């Protein structure tokens, strides 16, 4: 990656900083799916994880590194030999490996967290970058809490790490404290005061504690940054990170102002946003810029009139430019297998014959209950059907009795291979009754840690998609299920999480943890 005046590099950290969002943990297969979507989106670098953090993180980085081609694959490491070695090991099979070393530099971190003086910080930073360079040509360094670091010392750190071999120097606003004018000035200062600055790409990494992450990132671009670090939907630690889609669309919509371009295929933004939302279980707020459901919806009469006369009156970017599928095609019970397969292809899915058959059956069942099947309905079906996690238990039958004067009771039959297992239980509500019954049949004592229901499309006959987080011992798994019946969707989601827990227990027995 070389510095190019009008090229803005995008480092996506959805799988690392984004995954640090409370409750957003993704399994290895889901991380690979996101990484592949990011490669198709054409980001320049995918930060896949923090390998020393856990065996799961290590395995996920290794898997992404082996499978994903195109972007640089980045692994995070503290400025410690064992971290850097773990990152290098996880990146062994990467086409373009990058080791990202970080070390805090601000007075408050030096004094209370690290208990180290400035000269020691400089020595450790240089030594770590040199060690990382033994394993990878592409090394990035981040002075953590840079925005609260004394400017003179920050400039000295940046010069030191560039001399030691860092190709990218990332300036994090770790706690979201900076303001746009200050942050832009910080980049200009580094451009002027760091003698070796021409040998590295300056990068910005902003957190959203005061809602300024995107504004600060864009101010950094105006100040000379040529890489921004961001996440899909802006997910991340605490209030999140700078949102990828907002930064990319800001520089695309205002080239006159920012004077930079990215390589991102913006038409894939919407799909990637929905994938990340579905897999993490974190919904996208309707009024979210660029990817919210209402981002291109015009309600006011005056606006509608303007749009009909000339779209540009009220639209600064076209829905198509971000892949928004506002005007969905209509599919219904008369649609055949061919049309179904073609529609799935248009949405970017190429299921195998068996998956197609299962998905088609689900589509027909849904079409009997619901007049119009929208693209989002199809996505939910396909997500439900094309799962690499083996289904130990499958929902065969569910019957609920509920009402304001009845004790909610669920009767459920599950298929386990050829065997059918049936039981019934009462609960505090129909969902609780269904989950208790599933517990009795499967013998898995899962605790429901989170539950979210969303209507995939509008109308009273909408497909409901339920996302749950279920904890069982050390495992927390996300489960999803979709149906026009929300209780059935809940049971499916819960069962999906239970199947993942069973699968993960088996995997754990098989896989020995890597040695660092």
Applying CB under 6 A, which residues contact ligand KIV? 17, 102, 142, 144, 170, 172, 174, 205, 207
Q: Bridge-partner residues for 241, per DSSP?
A: 207
Minimum CB distance to Zn ion smaller for 17 or for 159: 17
Residue 142 binds what, of Zn ion, ligand KIV, none (CB under 5 to 8 Å, by partner type)?
A: ligand KIV
3-state secondary structure of 379: helix
Minimum CB distance to ligand KIV smaller for 17 or for 379: 17
The Cα 140–Cα 485 span in angstroms is 49
Minimum Å gap between C-beta 102 and ligand KIV is 4
Minimum CB distance to ligand KIV smaller for 47 or for 246: 47
Minimum CB distance to ligand KIV smaller for 21 or for 170: 170
Minimum Å gap between C-beta 237 and Zn ion is 6
Minimum Å gap between C-beta 220 and ligand KIV is 14
Minimum Å gap between C-beta 56 and Zn ion is 20
Residue 47 binds what, of ligand KIV, Zn ion, none (CB under 5 to 8 Å, by partner type)?
A: none
Residue number, nearest CB to Zn ion = 17
Residue 442 binds what, of Zn ion, ligand KIV, none (CB under 5 to 8 Å, by partner type)?
A: none
Minimum Å gap between C-beta 208 and Zn ion is 10
- Is residue 466 within 8 A of residue 451, CB to CB? The reply is yes
Minimum CB distance to Zn ion smaller for 145 or for 477: 145
The contacts of residue 61 (CB under 8 Å, 6+ apart) are 48, 49, 51, 73, 75, 87, 90, 91
List residues near Zn ion by CB under 5 A: 17
Q: Bridge-partner residues for 482, per DSSP?
A: 465
First and final C-alpha spacing in the chain: 29
- The pair of three-digit structure tokens given for residue 72, joined into one six-digit string: 């640089």
Torsion of CA 218, 223, 229, 235, to 10 degrees: -30
Strand bridging mode 419-426 / 447-455 = unpaired
- Is residue 278 within 8 A of residue 26, CB to CB? The reply is no
Please report the beta strands in 44-153, taking only residues with DSSP state E, as ranges in sequence order.
45-49, 72-78, 97-104, 138-144
Residue 110 binds what, of ligand KIV, Zn ion, none (CB under 5 to 8 Å, by partner type)?
A: none
Residue 262 binds what, of ligand KIV, Zn ion, none (CB under 5 to 8 Å, by partner type)?
A: none
Minimum Å gap between C-beta 54 and ligand KIV is 16
Minimum CB distance to ligand KIV smaller for 241 or for 499: 241
- Is residue 266 within 8 A of residue 252, CB to CB? The reply is yes
């Amino acid at each position: 990656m070389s510095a190019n005046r009008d090229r803005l590099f995008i480092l996506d950290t959805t799988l690392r900083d984004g995954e640090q969002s409370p409750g957003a943990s993704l399994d290895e297969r889901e991380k690979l799916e996101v990484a592949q979507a990011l490669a198709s989106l054409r980001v320049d670098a995918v930060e896949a994880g923090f390998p020393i953090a856990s065996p799961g993180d290590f395995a996920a980085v290794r898997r992404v590194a082996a499978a994903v081609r195109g972007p640089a694959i980045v692994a995070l490491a503290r400025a410690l030999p064992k971290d850097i070695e773990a990152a290098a090991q996880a990146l062994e099979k990467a086409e373009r490996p990058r080791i990202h070393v970080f070390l805090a530099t601000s007075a408050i971190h030096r004094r209370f967290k690290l208990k180290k003086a400035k000269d020691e910080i400089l020595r450790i930073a240089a030594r770590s970058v040199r060690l990382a360079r033994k394993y990878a040509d592409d090394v990035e360094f981040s002075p953590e809490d840079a925005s609260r670091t004394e400017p003179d010392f920050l400039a000295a750190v940046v010069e030191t790490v560039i001399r030691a071999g860092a190709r990218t120097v990332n300036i994090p606003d770790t706690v979201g404290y900076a303001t746009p004018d200050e942050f832009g000035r910080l980049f200009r200062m580094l451009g002027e005061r760091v003698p070796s600055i021409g040998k590295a790409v300056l990068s910005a990494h902003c957190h959203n504690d005061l809602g300024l992450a995107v504004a600060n990132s864009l101010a950094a671009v105006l100040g000379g940054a040529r890489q921004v670090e961001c996440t899909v939907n802006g997910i991340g630690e605490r209030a999140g990170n700078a949102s990828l889609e907002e930064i990319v669309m800001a520089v695309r919509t205002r080239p006159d102002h920012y004077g930079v371009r990215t390589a991102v295929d913006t038409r894939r933004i919407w799909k990637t946003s929905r994938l990340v939302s579905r897999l993490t279980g974190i919904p996208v707020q309707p009024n979210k810029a660029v990817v919210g459901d209402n981002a291109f919806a015009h309600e006011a009469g005056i606006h509608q009139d303007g749009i009909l006369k000339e779209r540009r009156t009220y639209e600064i970017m076209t829905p198509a430019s971000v892949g928004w599928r506002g005007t969905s095609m209509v599919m219904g019970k008369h649609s055949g297998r061919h049309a179904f397969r073609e529609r799935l292809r248009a949405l970017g899915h190429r299921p195998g014959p068996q998956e197609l058959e299962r998905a088609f059956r689900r589509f027909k069942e849904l079409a009997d209950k619901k007049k119009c099947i929208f693209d989002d309905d199809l996505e939910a079906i396909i997500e439900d059907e094309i799962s690499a996690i083996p289904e130990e238990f499958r929902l065969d039958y569910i019957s609920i009795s509920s009402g304001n004067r009845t004790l909610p009771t669920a009767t459920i039959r599950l298929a386990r291979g050829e065997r059918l297992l049936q039981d019934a239980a009462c609960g505090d509500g129909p969902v609780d009754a269904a989950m208790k019954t599933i517990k009795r049949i499967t013998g898995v004592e899962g605790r429901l840690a989170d539950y979210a229901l969303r209507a995939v499309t509008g109308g009273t006959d909408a497909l409901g998609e339920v996302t749950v987080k279920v904890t069982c011992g050390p495992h927390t798994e996300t489960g999803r299920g979709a149906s026009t019946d929300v209780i059935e969707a809940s049971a499916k989601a819960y069962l999906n999480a239970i199947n993942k827990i069973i699968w993960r227990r088996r995997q754990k027995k098989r896989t020995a943890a890597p040695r660092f």
